[in-house]
Structure 1
Amino acid sequence: MPNTAVPSRLTATRRSASQVRPGINGRSLAGHLAQNCPVASPEDTNEQVLHLFSEHQHVGALPVVENGRPMGIINRNQFMSQLAKPFHRELYARKSCIAFMNHSPLVVEHDVSLQDLSFMAVANGEKALADGFIITRDQQYIGIGAGVDLVKAIADLQAEKNRLVMESINYASVIQKSFLRSSREDMAAALNDYFMHWEPRDVVGGDYYYFVKHDDGFFCAVIDCTGHGVPGAFMTLIIASALNQVLKETDLHNPAAALAEVNRTVKQSLGQFDGGRQGMDDGGEMHSDDGMDTAFCWVDHRSRTLTFAGAKTPLFILPPGAEDLEVIKGDKKGVGYIDTPMDYAWENQTLSLKPGSRVYITTDGIIDQIGGPKQIAFGKKRLKKAIMECASKSMEQQKAHIMDTFYKYQGEHLRRDDVSIFGFRLD
């Protein structure tokens, strides 16, 4: 009878991460998946392989190795099915185990990344996941990896990457909110009855607001930058930088002039000069076509006037006793976009406001949100209706009603954009 002992001379042990490659996270390399598994040699018979499988019930595949070099893999299920056929055991029991071996298994070096290994496994077909794959160091066998372990490792890596990304985004949210702190403080100091609802679609977003208090009045802006999420948040940083630069040097009593100066600053920052063409330039650099829609307002305490300049963003005014909101439209050009000329001039609109007048500014995240039984946009009409339903209440109570109406309308539909709405009452 042939010797059926396990050929321990070729038994591999699992390598630790530090043995795989110093200085690199071994958990992200193929060597981390090397399992402690018995091996066969081409001199071993199928009867010996059957004995190995019987002794090691957890082994799903057996590598075949000769002189330290991998030759193939024997899949347990396929091997057992072949020997179960009539007369196959009698015919093949004493023959070399290579008869039922996969001669072209996936073989990878220990320092291959799990990402590259996953691509190789997919390209190799289902056998790489069913049989497993052989792991080598300098073409010498060190272990076998299981397809299920590869899938789990990739999932764990992805979860870890997602965790790190979310940690970064959460911290970016702290930074973004810090840019709004001074505006919130000035808002609370200047207004007795107001609300500011700022809600990024994701953790960070492309909506931004700016408020600064002066002795004779206050300046406010509600801004909708291109995009949402991380790209939108980057745009808010550019816009915040432009605002801080421009508004310290520009007369805030003139919102249109401030818009024009911000437009020039943003276009220079983003290199948007090519008159409407977007794409790659001759040097292979991508042109930006980004900017913001916004409403700039100066409210003068003494004259009780509001001076408004809008870039594709309207103003909603509700005088005391009025039965409907007045909509004051802004200009049709946004700020900073390629098709907005460098010297574009917005127009100021000056409105006299009676005591008790309420003013609302919103980005299009509310207006454009799909919802309701007909799956159409929330729209200005529903927004005006929601405001009128609670117009006699405090601004904070109005915010609660407006947002509750909005959330119910959105229902189970995905949020399309960041949502920001600002409202205040003049004493």
Structure 2
Amino acid sequence: MTIAKQKVLIVDDTPENISLISNALSDRKRIAATNGSKAIELALQHKPDLILLDIIMPEMDGFEVCRILKSNQETKDIPVIFITAETETESIVKGFEVGGIDYVTKPINVRELQARVKTQLALKTSMDDNIRYIAEIDKRNKQITDSINYAHLIQKASLPSKDYLKDILPKHFVYYGPRDIVSGDFYWAKKVEDKTIVIAADCTGHGVPGAFLSMYGIAFLNEIVLKDKITEPDQILNRMRETVIQSLNQGEMTNMQDGMDMVVLTINSNFSSVDYAGANNPLWILRGEEMLITRGDTMPIGKHVFMNDFTKHTVPLIKGDQLYIFSDGYADQFGGPRNRKLMKKNFRAKLIEFSEFELAEQKKKLLEFFCEWQDGNEQIDDTLIISIKI
């Protein structure tokens, strides 16, 4: 809408004043009313960009007209300049209180009127532009959010189902807390012949970029484990690294450093031992009140300064052991009385503290503590904890 097309409603019970004001604003579209009722009718019908409103009129004064306009959703945002012969402070203040934004005194100074109208119409143009921009942003944001919500459904469908996990891991819980709608953390589990393979992964980034990489990761694991029948955890990590580097074109001349941290567990058929390999992240086993820590290799799945083969660790298991694999999001969360990171030692202490409860209750208490620790802070990363009880 250009300024030349902006519309001004002039309201005055004196035709001479209407004529004077109309001539002064000859570069605008003008409509006029000689009483309050007609002014309200025209305002609703034409939606003017500005109203010049006389205060002293018979039947309904300008204050009442303004109150009615401001109480109506369709006219409440139309700016009102009062025209008045009254110069008392009380009258001027009352005009602002009922919703006026400016006033012009009688007898009317044409140049002053033109300047005030020009200023208010320019402000109205800016406000209308902002409303349109916000509406467009809201529209685009909804489209994007709808797309991400759909992507969330796809990502969720790519994860192991609760029924399948319960079938291959009778005693377990999965704590999965995306920072955004979609997550850069993911988990993967399959029963392959007499072995149960469980994987927890943390992709570079979170939100949409992390989710893209996580979907790649799930597809790669399906290819490596299910098609190529690779079940040894170190070999899975080695092949994953090769595939990620090749798929993301992480050659010598690229700065693409995206990748993932990952833990792979291959549990034997009678759950008497577990083969473990880790890209940056460890395996924790709670045995009684002692947390046994098996550390992985300090290199990610992706291009890195160190590119050695990953290491396989075979760890004997006994009945009652509780295994934990996880991403770093839970321990890295800021909060608490000093607004610091939780840190792994405190995370470990909470796992030990909650271990006396049933698995479902452990998961509930981890969530409750995380919210308590967060204490209003923004969640900084995706969170993932998988626990398996032997």
Specify if TM > 0.5: yes
1:323 is aligned, of 256, 275, 289, to: 289
Matching residue of 1:171: 150
Matching residue of 1:230: 208
Alignment of 1:97-136 (within 5 A): 100=114, 130-132=120-122
**What is the TM-score normalised by the length of structure 1?**
0.67
Matching residue of 2:268: 300
Q: Secondary structure at the match of 1:234?
A: helix
1:380-405 CA deviation, whole Å, 9 max, x = no partner? 11222112112232222211122222
d(CA) in 2 for partners of 1:55 and 1:193?
79
Q: Secondary structure at the match of 1:417?
A: coil
Task: Answer whether contact 2:241 2:302 (CA < 8 A) is retained.
Answer: yes
Q: Alpha-carbon deviation of 1:185?
A: 3.9
d(CA) in 2 for partners of 1:50 and 1:372?
63
Residue 254, structure 1, aligned to residue 232, structure 2: yes
Q: Secondary structure at the match of 2:240?
A: helix
Matching residue of 2:300: 334
Q: Alpha-carbon deviation of 1:45?
A: 6.9
Task: Answer whether contact 1:357 1:425 (CA < 8 A) is retained.
Answer: yes
Matching residue of 2:361: 397
**Aligned amino acid, residue 280 of structure 2:** K
1:209 is aligned, of 174, 187, 191, to: 187
Task: Answer whether contact 1:61 1:131 (CA < 8 A) is retained.
Answer: no
Q: Alpha-carbon deviation of 1:417?
A: 0.2
Q: Alpha-carbon deviation of 1:36?
A: 5.4
Task: Answer whether contact 1:292 1:336 (CA < 8 A) is retained.
Answer: yes
Q: Secondary structure at the match of 2:165?
A: helix
1:221-271 CA deviation, whole Å, 9 max, x = no partner? 000001111111111111112111111244544110110001000110100
Matching residue of 1:124: none
Matching residue of 1:368: 332
Q: Secondary structure at the match of 1:347?
A: coil
d(CA) in 2 for partners of 1:237 and 1:411?
31
1:46-76 CA deviation, whole Å, 9 max, x = no partner? 67337997936755389xxxxxxxxxxxx99
Alignment of 1:352-391 (within 5 A): 352-391=316-355
d(CA) in 2 for partners of 1:325 and 1:164?
47
Matching residue of 2:24: 49
Q: Alpha-carbon deviation of 1:290?
A: 0.3
Percent identical residues: 26
d(CA) in 2 for partners of 1:389 and 1:338?
37
d(CA) in 2 for partners of 1:189 and 1:45?
86
**Aligned amino acid, residue 225 of structure 1:** C
Task: Answer whether contact 1:207 1:225 (CA < 8 A) is retained.
Answer: yes
Per the alignment, do residues 217 and 59 of structure 1 end up closer, same or farther by CA in structure 2, a change over 3 Å counting?
closer
d(CA) in 1 for partners of 2:354 and 2:140?
45
Unaligned runs of 5+ in 1: 1-29, 63-74, 106-126, 134-144, 279-287
Q: Secondary structure at the match of 1:218?
A: strand
Q: What is the Cα-based RMSD across aligned positions, in Å?
A: 3.5
Task: Answer whether contact 1:79 1:100 (CA < 8 A) is retained.
Answer: no
d(CA) in 2 for partners of 1:350 and 1:316?
13
Per the alignment, do residues 77 and 313 of structure 1 end up closer, same or farther by CA in structure 2, a change over 3 Å counting?
same
Task: Answer whether contact 1:198 1:420 (CA < 8 A) is retained.
Answer: yes
1:408 is aligned, of 368, 372, 376, to: 372
**Aligned amino acid, residue 362 of structure 1:** F
